[in-house]
Amino acid sequence: MTAQYLLKDVRPLGGEPTDVLVAGGLVAAIGPDAGDASENAPDDLEVIDATGMVLLPGLVDLHTHLREPGREDAETIASGTRAGAAGGFTAVHAMANTTPTQDTAGVVEQVWRLGAQAGWTDVHPVGAVSVGLAGEHLAELGAMADSAARVRVFSDDGKCVHDPVLMRRALEYVKAFDGVIAQHAQEPRLTQGAQMHEGVVSAEIGLAGWPAVAEEAIIARDVLLAEHVGSRLHVCHLSTAGSVEIIRWAKSRGIAVTAEVTPHHLVLTDEEARGYDPVFKVNPPLRTQADVDAVREGLADGTIDIVATDHAPHTREDKDCEWAAAAFGMTGLETALSVVQQTMVDTGRMTWADVARVLSTNPARIGRVEGHGRPIAVGEPANLVLVDPDQRRVVEPARQATASTNSPLRGRELPGAVVATFLRGRATVLDGVPQDDPADPRYAAGRVTP
Amino acid sequence: MTSGTPVPDDTAAATAATVVLGEQDVARALTRIAHEILERNKGGDDLVVLGIPTRGVPLAHRLAARLAAVEPGLVAEDLVGSLDVTMYRDDLAQHPTRTIGATSVPARGIDGKVVVLVDDVLYSGRTIRAALDALNDLGRPRAVQLAALVDRGHRELPIRADFVGKNLPTSTAERVRVLLAETDGRTEVVIEGGPR
Amino acid sequence: MRHLLSTTDLDRAAAIRVLDTAAQMAATQGRQIKKLPTLRGRTVVNLFFEDSTRTRISFETAAKRLSADVINFSAKGSSVSKGESLKDTALTLQAMGADAIVIRHQASGAPHTLAHAGWTEAAVVNAGDGMHQHPTQALLDAFTIRRHLTGTATNPDGVGHDLAGLHVAVVGDVLHSRVARSNVDLLHTLGAEVTLVAPPTLLPVGVGPWPAAVSYRLDDVLAQGPDAVMMLRVQRERMSTAGGGFFPSPLEYTRLYGLDARRLATLPDHSIVLHPGPMNRGLEISADAADSPRAVIVEQVANGVAVRMAVLYLLLSGDGDTPGAAPATGAVPALTSTSTPATAATTTTAGATA
């Protein structure tokens, strides 16, 4: 029999305190007498004092790199989704740039199955747009869509679908199964050898520049393509003020475009590169304070639809080196919610209901994920996260659930903590601790070891 | 000011500096040393006077002026130079980085000459050891002699001054400071610190 | 001074101290016996990930003149080319007891990482990193400029002086040039006015805040009568499409930005011409200009040894607790006495040697 949980005095979406009963995989009852609805003996009902805590629908990440298959030394599907659960996620989209590439039904089904086995979050594989991410031939998008993994999001993330004809074909083709192309917007010729944002800091410290226009030019082209063919377009990790303007303009024209911003682009700037610490090396690069201000504003006013982590774990050897030799990317699953709280909620730009929108409802809608991003209402699947906004914690990468340590927030104090995560009524995290299955030998040491 | 006793005055405050040589004392000592140098070397024909920075340099200039005054035919500017020993020291790693002083040798060079090294205080002898090494890289003098305004003892090397302005028995806890008008605005030798 | 990674590490006093120390070092290099015992027993490693025979030889000469043991570690043909990381190379050099590592690397920031990643205790000297900095080159340029434009009969090296009031034009591929970045910072620190001259394609996008004026027209800047003109090396591959096609042809570059006899003749009599080498004769500088009496290019090479001796001395001679910008004291111009702060008064204390 599944355990039942009674969340006492919890604030759904940051609203008025009430009690919420989680039972039978569903939100079973809401209200001061919710506990009475439990049919369990009192022994089997776990009561959680959630005074002051906020209840949100389980978070949905549209942009996660789980690295398996291929780079299990950096992350596995099990360790990455465990980190996701610790960060409050109940569903993640596993990006396609694995080895082998997620460009066939076989590979996406393998990823989907490994995710289901691990059981920390639902795993929705993202299919590659082009074979081998090479940007030349369309991958078998239909086969992936019809596979057990039911792929709806397609992306060559890590690389831009820069050929305008290929991009047009992809946008058109996925309409057949209500798919979406998630574009990594980076004009390749303008960013050859690029290491960081091109601007005052790059000029001074001598790192090759990644100009904002290389992102904006692709976004501008793609929204026009999407308008022309009447397709859905999703823009990954938008990072510049100019990109926000283009999306705002496109939406005003009624183009079916959605956009995401990463937590790191909400909080960090290119000034971080001055110390040449490769933990701050990421693609697209950290931008200027003006860009940070613009993406915060865009997120608050709805121009930017979602926050997605672009969680990109890397081994130590890929980061413990000179800047130019280091890999792009930073981890984010376990700090995303705190960064959003710090930059958007605690600053008064957004409410907790807005947080639910950008971290759960909207990403679930864009990815056509069923059962996630639902209202907190009786009878809905109990995909939930319980957050204590008053806790503060210092980020210690070595103590995180992710198998990698490349968090750019190392040593920083962040507000908020995930107290519990529920996946269809089962607690994957309780008291802030991932609930490892004692029967699974991989968790014997209390930590995932691939 | 008078020539003081090297023993600190018990009635003075512990931190107060005791003046052991005044301006006139320093002048007299240099004049005497100039005579001694000329006497020892039977004139000044082959003399080169090299001061060790910082305060050895103005002392060398004063000494050269006195040599020229005493010995007809000597021109002070042709005698005098400076010899920086910083890069020859054996204690560079034990102290904060030292600023390197200038080395300048009179046009006549030092080969075959009698070089008189001039320093303000002779103490452990290590500066003079470094100076001898530095001199060795510059040329081959016929003889090297040493003039010090103050010899405070506590030698750590077998080095002895040929000409001494004043012998000052001191304890190692004391500090001997030579002040010169050229570098410090006034001329005197003081002892600081040490036991009450 | 613990490391020398960038000319921005040097404030005015520290920069003058390096130049003054270099002047004393240069004085020793005119002697028959040039070797000094100063760094006897210390080990200097020249760690070169990029070919640069000139810079390596200059550092090697400087270290040897100070009696340091020198180990040359070239990435070519070593374990580095077989994939050994900078970290493991640093750990190896640390285990071998390197006191200083002189590093040339194609990646901007590699010296910074080497100095601050905790891999080695050695002092790190940046001998050129990517498009970032080449501080000893800027110091030798400043030394050369100071000597020619502020030196006097009694103080030929301009000891104690900065470069206030001088106008220096830096001409060429500023975008890719660590020499330009180092020089802009150092010349500004020393009070000089800098004008960068380059085609717009060879200027960084973020050049705005640099403490320098920017011009696209060499003739206009030469008409202002700069005291020194520093020509930067232009790599021929910059014109190819693969390299980005920064200018249409070498011929056009030379026409617009090359220093030739005609342009040389427009300079004031006292102006000097510098080039960090190696020169592309006929591209950024004509043979007439390179070989003219105004060109101090060969002297720059000689001064490079003195400046690098000074840097190694200042990094390696102290007890390691010295703050970087100690006042320049006791820098006595030849045969003249200058005032010295009382803090440097000769004192003998317990345990000290005098």
Amino acid at site A49: D
Least confident interval from A72-76, B166-170, C213-217, C349-353? C349-353
Q: Specify if C42 maps to a domain.
A: yes
ipTM of this complex prediction, to 2 decimal places:
0.86
A314 is in an annotated binding site: yes
C82 is in an annotated binding site: yes
Q: pLDDT digits over A274-283, tens only?
A: 999 999 999 9
From 2.30.40.10, 2.40.30.210, 3.30.2290.10, 2.40.30.20, which CATH number describes the A4-55+378-399+409-443 domain?
Answer: 2.30.40.10
- Report d(CA A324, CA A331) in Å as an integer: 19
- The stretch A284-292 carries a mean pLDDT of 98
Q: By C-alpha distance, which of A152, B99, A325 is closest to C16?
A: B99
Q: What is the pLDDT of residue C334?
A: 30
Q: What tokens does C282 get?
A: 């006929």
Q: By C-alpha distance, which of A186, A181, A190, A185 is closest to A209?
A: A190
CA neighbours closer than 13 Å in the CB half-sphere of residue A270: 29
DSSP string, A325-377: GSPP-B--TTTHHHHHIIIIITTTS--HHHHHIIIIIHHHHHTT-TTSS--S-
Least confident interval from A408-412, C94-98, C213-217, C226-230? C94-98
Q: What tokens does C332 get?
A: 């006595």
Q: Clarify whether residues C239 and C189 are in a common domain.
A: yes
Contact of C204 with chain A, judged by CB distance below 8 Å, is answered with yes
Place of tokens 């980061």: A319
**Single pTM value for the model:** 0.88
Q: Which of B88, B99, B126 sits opposite C329 (nearest CB)?
A: B99
Tell me the residue range of the domain where C158 lies: 135-300
Helices of type H across chain C: 12-28, 53-65, 86-95, 110-116, 135-150, 178-189, 218-223, 250-257, 261-265, 287-290, 297-316
H or E stretch covering A27: strand A26-30
Contact B100 C25 (CB under 8 A): yes
Q: Specify if C334 maps to a domain.
A: no
Q: What is the pLDDT of residue C245?
A: 86
- Long-range pairs, A34-42, Cβ under 8 A, ≥24: A34/A6, A35/A6, A35/A8, A38/A4, A38/A6, A40/A1, A40/A4
Residue intervals of chain A classified under CATH 3.20.20.140 are: 58-366
Q: Which of C87, C105, C209 sits opposite A320 (nearest CB)?
A: C87
Place of tokens 């990815």: A367
Q: Clarify whether residues C230 and C180 are in a common domain.
A: yes
Q: What is the pLDDT of residue B17?
A: 83
Q: Clarify whether residues C130 and C261 are in a common domain.
A: no
Please list every residue in chain A whose beta carbon sits closer than 8 Å to the beta carbon of residue C206: 198-204, 209
Q: Which of A200, A202, A317 sits opposite C85 (nearest CB)?
A: A317
Percentage of chain C beyond pLDDT 70 is: 86
Enumerate neighbours of C (3 or more CB pairs within 8 A).
Answer: A, B
Q: What is the pLDDT of residue C319?
A: 73
Q: What is the pLDDT of residue A41?
A: 66
- Report d(CA C56, CA C72) in Å as an integer: 8
Q: Clarify whether residues C307 and C288 are in a common domain.
A: no
Q: Specify if C96 maps to a domain.
A: yes
Q: Clarify whether residues C277 and C266 are in a common domain.
A: yes
Q: Which residue of B has its CA nearest to C14?
A: B99
- Report d(CA C235, CA A193) in Å as an integer: 18
Q: By C-alpha distance, which of B44, B97, B144, A64 is closest to C320?
A: B97
Contact A321 C85 (CB under 8 A): yes
Q: Clarify whether residues C106 and C211 are in a common domain.
A: no
Q: Specify if C268 maps to a domain.
A: yes
The pLDDT-based confidence of C235 (bands split at 50, 70, 90) is confident
Domains of chain B, first to last: 24-170 (3.40.50.2020)
Domains held by chain C: number: 2
Burial class (CB in 10 A: 0-12, 13-18, 19+), A235: buried
Please list every residue in chain C whose beta carbon sits closer than 8 Å to the beta carbon of residue B103: 24, 27-28
Q: What is the pLDDT of residue C339?
A: 35
Asked if the peptide bond before residue A188 counts as cis, ω within 30 degrees of 0, the response is no
Residue intervals of chain A classified under CATH 2.30.40.10 are: 4-55+378-399+409-443
Residues of C with active-site annotation = 54-55, 82, 104, 134
Please list every residue in chain A whose beta carbon sits closer than 8 Å to the beta carbon of residue C110: 276, 322-324
A329 is in an annotated binding site: yes
C61 is in an annotated binding site: no
Q: Which domain CATH number covers C111?
A: 3.40.50.1370
Please list every residue in chain A whose beta carbon sits closer than 8 Å to the beta carbon of residue C87: 320-321
Q: Specify if C323 maps to a domain.
A: no
Q: Specify if C165 maps to a domain.
A: yes
Contact B137 C1 (CB under 8 A): no
Number of Cβ pairs < 8 A linking chain A and chain C: 79
The SS3 of residue B54 is: coil
Instruction: Please report the residues numbered 3 through 42 in chain C whose beta carbons come closer than 8 angstroms to any beta carbon of chain B.
Output: 17, 20-21, 24-25, 27-28, 31, 33, 35-38
CATH for the stretch A58-366: 3.20.20.140
Place of tokens 């904002």: A212
Q: What is the pLDDT of residue C242?
A: 60
Please list every residue in chain C whose beta carbon sits closer than 8 Å to the beta carbon of residue B102: 24, 27, 331-334
Q: Clarify whether residues C117 and C144 are in a common domain.
A: no
User: How far away is chain A from the Cα of C318, in angstroms, using its nearest Cα?
Assistant: 26
Q: Clarify whether residues C152 and C264 are in a common domain.
A: yes
Q: Clarify whether residues C34 and C160 are in a common domain.
A: no
User: How far away is chain B from the Cα of C187, in angstroms, using its nearest Cα?
Assistant: 23
CA A433 to chain centre: 20
C118 is in an annotated binding site: no
Least confident interval from A412-416, B102-106, C144-148, C322-326? C322-326
Q: Clarify whether residues C103 and C12 are in a common domain.
A: yes
Q: Clarify whether residues C271 and C142 are in a common domain.
A: yes
C87 is in an annotated binding site: no
Q: Specify if C345 maps to a domain.
A: no
Please list every residue in chain A whose beta carbon sits closer than 8 Å to the beta carbon of residue C113: 276, 321-323
Q: Which residue of C has its CA nearest to A190?
A: C244
- State yes or no: pLDDT of C323 exceeds 50: no
Q: Clarify whether residues C193 and C289 are in a common domain.
A: yes
Mutant choice from B99, B108, B133, B170 vs C, greatest count of C C-beta within 10 A: B99
Angle between helices C135-150 and C178-189 (to 10 degrees): 50
Q: Specify if C254 maps to a domain.
A: yes
- Report d(CA A46, CA A42) in Å as an integer: 8
Q: pLDDT digits over A112-151, tens only?
A: 999 999 999 999 999 999 999 999 999 999 999 999 999 9
